[in-house]
Chain A
């Protein structure tokens, strides 16, 4: 009976061998794939198993934290200090609803899984330190952010502020806002809080990041771009040349459809400087029409229109479309199909303030390991040159004149040179909805400008005239600029 016994022995050996091969297949060959499987809850468990790194402002304020939870699977949950103020910057990181914006984009560093933290992880394995995520040092200025958020108050709107010299984003506020801490966990309370914030439930859409993800008609603030296009293309050589523009200006290719000004202002044949001072629709509409759609579009694109910007958070593309002549004339005054994000308009102001150089906006300054070693530091980078330095200086003069003698007086700061431009964009068919109040500006001291800012306020029901931007938005811009300048002293 020994021969069949030997064969059975071989058969049993094959059974065990096949188990071993299968196990190698699962645990060696497919290990990575299975470990990253979307249904594998271990990934999430690991993410929340230790304290998440923090997001920190440029002036050293920690704006996030971690709270220990009593839940079984996830030991820590994210918390935010002053969540509503910072939500447009950080995004959220929820156990149940995933993460957005910086919390999502820098998740590798924050959760400690990034390859750049390999050495750190290995070290802490030997030293027995608790695993912890790295930190993200942003470029944001906590005082400017607070000024922006407080300034917006209960109004619906957004503020974006940039350092024109580097492109560093100093403030990014959006109202109404939300507190990401309310749904950071995965309990039913969290999901109730999350659902209440959805647009379906809350028409104010508090989770919309208005500074980056909402485009508005830029209204008269766009006249800065139109003026830059006029000077760059040599339509006028100086800001004091008369523009040969009639009042009212009849839109091209239309059956005598007039483009009017807001109120009785001295616009007929006005110089560029005066036209910007009073925000003459007729002058800038004519400039846009004279230059034509291609040139206007090209100039707008140099300022960053028509493409998404990653700072690293995605910013919606602002739009200056290819269009027919009457629409193009309207786009030249920031109406019709022309749309811009608040960040985009802050970039316009910053390019002017920075002598024509547009720096690429960014909001992550440094990535730090848990032991505060710097892993990477963002170097400022020029994005484009929308205009020559000479043109920029002419525009500065004009914008500064708007603040001292024009519609933007509310933007004045004692002892500082401030340039600005107001805007009130029509909204809705036949202008029936409340208009958008805009203000873009920059402040300047001896060595260039440390801050450029754009403010937009939606649907305030106060006034409809062109001064609305000056009345509503300019004070907020002033407070934000002041907060930055005070910090410099």
Chain B
């Protein structure tokens, strides 16, 4: 209808925008956490929590604003991403609020720091900032290809963000925080994740042919020329080194995975996977052999209950508690507010928030939650598939691959599948930087998907069109 001037016989078929689907899903995404909130209140105090209305309205308002912005500025965007992120964020808020009510954690905080301050209000504030950033991304970033211009700037920024925490004291064995007086602490690694994906996409898009084709064969593998691979290898090695010195294992694993995935997608050469796996194996063994922080994590992973019998190390205690918490949840869980996941104590609402889900929502809840994460990743990969430009493809697969790896590393660590490395469950865990950065990540994915699903521009009307239609007798 819009193509009034189109005089070709076949018009461009407009893809449905699916904005109403998104709205309907968003209603669920807000309603489910509100019910969960009521559930926690009823289970713990026997009455509806007083903040329920405010909470529901707050979440609804944020979701509504985000939806309107998407409707206006990214109308062809993937309809699932926003509702899924909203649902996760809402559930995360409920879980953090639930752990705030735990007398055990309150007492723990009081004896450790002399006072207790609930985390949920902060998290709500961070969510608001996150949604604001999401809106900002959609408003400012009209086309994701603009980001290509900032390839080398983003490299510098990512390195700066990664180096920054080294000048701040370590918190709980890892130097991954910077503290800004009055604002609290920030984890720059979360933002560096996005920025380094931008750098990789920009660089690989330009150099991918050179990397894939101008290569020498060596021991059955195609090795690219140093001048092509060099810069990216240097950046990657630097970031890994920095992270190792900051003992931020999760993020270094994430960066490495991101690097391998993007290189593989860009060059279409399987040898990269082999190469990557070999390097990661060497790296992991090397780091594990000299870093005591890593060794204790590995030991705790091998025998989660060892510390009950021999030495008392914090990491082991946590893993053992987390695994028992999952076991006690069983198939259906104890119900929100009725479990004892707070026995984990330290980091119950951060790294280990998943064990609260496991104990209180059970296997059923965990499956649903993992499927939600899986769906976000899947929508990201679909966006990459649908994207029409290589930069968009690379950025989308980079971001969704990073998201998937982060989910795997955190959840696998908490469930004792792999050694615990200490990262946050996207959207779910307490932590400002994580929520804000992940909202930005979703914003960029939505922008790419909007571009990808936008109908192809109608062919320009041919100046001869009038002529062909004129049938003269």
Which residues of A approach B to under 8 Å, CB–CB?
1-9, 11-13, 15-16, 18-20, 22-24, 26-28, 30-35, 37, 39-42, 45, 72-73
Contacts and interface: CB of A to CB of B under 8 A. Distances in A.
Given A22-B415, A31-B328, 10 more contacts: A5-B381, A8-B265, A9-B381, A16-B371, A26-B326, A26-B358, A27-B327, A35-B324, A72-B103, A72-B107
B352 to A, nearest CB: 14
26 contacts: A1-B266, A1-B268, A1-B390, A5-B381, A8-B381, A8-B397, A12-B374, A13-B374, A15-B407, A18-B412, A19-B411, A23-B370, A24-B363, A26-B415, A28-B331, A28-B363, A30-B327, A31-B328, A31-B330, A35-B328, A37-B327, A39-B320, A40-B324, A41-B343, A42-B324, A45-B340
A5 B265 contact: yes
Contacts of B266: 1
Interface string B307-351: 010000000000010011011111100000000100100000000
B328 A26 contact: no
Interface secondary structure of A, over-half rule: helix
A252 to B, nearest CB: 57
A5 B393 contact: yes
A41 B321 CA distance: 9
A35 B362 CA distance: 13
Nearest to B307: A39
B367 A23 contact: yes
Contact of A42 (B323, B340, B412): B340
Nearest to A13: B374
Nearest to A2: B385
Q: Which 5 A-B pairs have the closest CB atoms?
A: A34-B327, A27-B363, A16-B374, A12-B404, A15-B408
Contacts of B358: 23, 26-27
Interface of B: 103-104, 107, 261, 264-266, 268, 305, 308, 320, 323-324, 326-331, 340, 343, 358, 362-363, 366-367, 370-371, 373-374, 377-378, 381, 384-385, 390, 393-394, 397, 400-401, 404-405, 407-408, 411-412, 415-417
Contact of B366 (A8, A23, A40): A23
A33 B266 CA distance: 47
Nearest to A37: B324
Contacts of A35: 324, 327-328, 330
Contacts of A73: 104
B331 A27 contact: yes
Contacts of B397: 5, 8
A351 B318 CA distance: 59
A42 B415 CA distance: 18
A15 B366 contact: no
Contacts of A1: 265-266, 268, 390, 393-394
Given A22-B412, A27-B363, A39 B261 contact: no
B149 to A, nearest CB: 21
Contacts of A4: 264-265, 268
Contacts of B377: 12, 16
